[in-house]
Amino acid sequence: MSKSFLSNKGVPFIFAGWWLVWTFLQWNILLKFGISETEAIVDSYLSNIFLGLSCLLIINNMRYYLPKKEKYWYVLTVSLVLSFVWVIVLKLLLGIIFKNDTAYLNILSQSTTLRFGFGFLMIGCISTVSLLWFTQQDFIQTENQKRAVEQLAKDAELFKLRQQLHPHFLFNSLNSISALIVSQPEKARHMVQQLSDFLRGTLKKEEHVLNSLNEELQHLQLYLDIEKVRFGHRLNTVIQVEESARLLQVPALLLQPAVENAIKFGLYDVIGAVTITIHATIQGNSLQIEITNPFDEHTSQTAGGTGFGLASIKRRLFLIFGRADLLTTTAHNHIFTATILIPQKNESTYY
């Protein structure tokens, strides 16, 4: 039985099965009291038709109105009232149908209290089950809506992070192109083409989609080619990746801000050549990426800028995986290392 069937028709379906079984049992019980077969059939069917209508009224009411604080008093009051009305209506109707059968009318009168107790028990049970059922459905719906709202908030924050991702790099690239236009127009033209390819690839990617590490490295290479035009021989990169790790998945556009951070703190206050190292390995069920750059202890404290790079990566990893320990940094012997740990999943998206 499917979940959607249960949530839409579960209570009425269970109730219909109970109604058929109890109608048959009541018919047999009435026969044992010496009532004729016709009277037993009419009594059992009318009794359970009106009882069933009372229960369906409760089920339908619970579907559209769920009492909160007063729910137990509500169930008790409704069960008492409906049971009383059910007995009165049933007694009047059967009294009219079998008005000439004194023996049956006597049995009907003597069973009034018993019928009321049975009706109260059944209506009370159906009321309680309906209350619990629809309360659970309401809770599930509320939780789904809550998750949807949280997902929208995550998507909005990820989108905001992406919108902040490239301005600093873009402005520097445009300044470099401007400087090259006069002195080295061919190199400026080449840099414009590289920048165009890089931005086109960036716009096609979505934050929550998984890309293979190999795809991310190809996109990262476009960024590095642009930066090498800017910094010339001063920027050297070493990319060391285990072959088996190239097919593992990473969040789109995760590496570029990490490498940009390494270039920023590795080259901006240094005159000589600098080597940025990217090392990717498999650690258990995770992909580990280490990005290292040299740094000067005396100038790194004042080179802070906005601090967006690594902070954005850490926040993004938290939004995607729900963990705050996936980005760690160390500084030792003038070498700064940012270590990113990416748990692997089988789904095509994170959410």
User: CB–CB of 233/272 below 8 Å?
Assistant: no
If asked whether residues 33 and 141 sit together in one domain, one would say yes
Q: 219-254, pLDDT tens digit by residue?
A: 888 888 888 887 888 899 999 999 999 999 998 878
The answer, as to whether pTM is greater than 0.85, is: no
Decide if 349 is inside a domain.
no
Supply the range of the domain harboring residue 78.
Answer: 3-150
Decide if 187 is inside a domain.
yes
- Of 124, 150, 176, the position where a domain reaches its end is 150
Q: What whole-number distance in Å separates Cα of residue 205 and Cα of residue 277?
A: 25
If asked whether residues 194 and 323 sit together in one domain, one would say yes
Q: What whole-number distance in Å separates Cα of residue 104 and Cα of residue 30?
A: 10
Q: How far is CA 211 from CA 149, 204, 249, 348, in A?
A: 26, 12, 5, 9
Q: What whole-number distance in Å separates Cα of residue 284 and Cα of residue 287?
A: 8
- Of 108, 128, 150, the position where a domain reaches its end is 150
**Closest CA relative to residue 334, chosen from 300, 296, 299, 298:** 296
If asked whether residues 97 and 179 sit together in one domain, one would say no
If asked whether residues 168 and 146 sit together in one domain, one would say no
* pLDDT value at 351 more than 90: no
Decide if 156 is inside a domain.
no
Q: Which residues contact 120 (CB under 8 A, 6 or more apart)?
A: 79, 80, 83
Total number of domains in the chain? 2
One-letter-per-residue 3-state SS of 164-202? CCCHHHHHHHHHHHHHHHHHCHHHHHHHHHHHHHHHHHH
Q: Residue 317 carries which side chain, given as an amino acid letter?
A: L
When comparing pLDDT for 283 and 70, which is higher? 283
- Of 123, 150, 177, the position where a domain reaches its end is 150
Q: Of 50-54, 137-141, 297-301, which gets the smallest average pLDDT?
A: 297-301
If asked whether residues 229 and 123 sit together in one domain, one would say no
- Taking every pair of Cα atoms in the chain, the longest distance, rounded to a whole number of angstroms, is 119
Q: What is the CATH number of the domain that holds 270?
A: 3.30.565.10
Q: 144-173, pLDDT tens digit by residue?
A: 877 777 766 666 665 665 555 556 667 767
Q: Residue 344 carries which side chain, given as an amino acid letter?
A: Q
Decide if 351 is inside a domain.
no
C-beta neighbour count of 211 within 10 angstroms: 18
Average pLDDT over every residue of 68-95: 82
Token code pair at residue 262 = 């390494």
If asked whether residues 122 and 253 sit together in one domain, one would say no
pLDDT value, residue 282: 93
If asked whether residues 216 and 252 sit together in one domain, one would say yes
If asked whether residues 318 and 182 sit together in one domain, one would say yes
If asked whether residues 106 and 180 sit together in one domain, one would say no
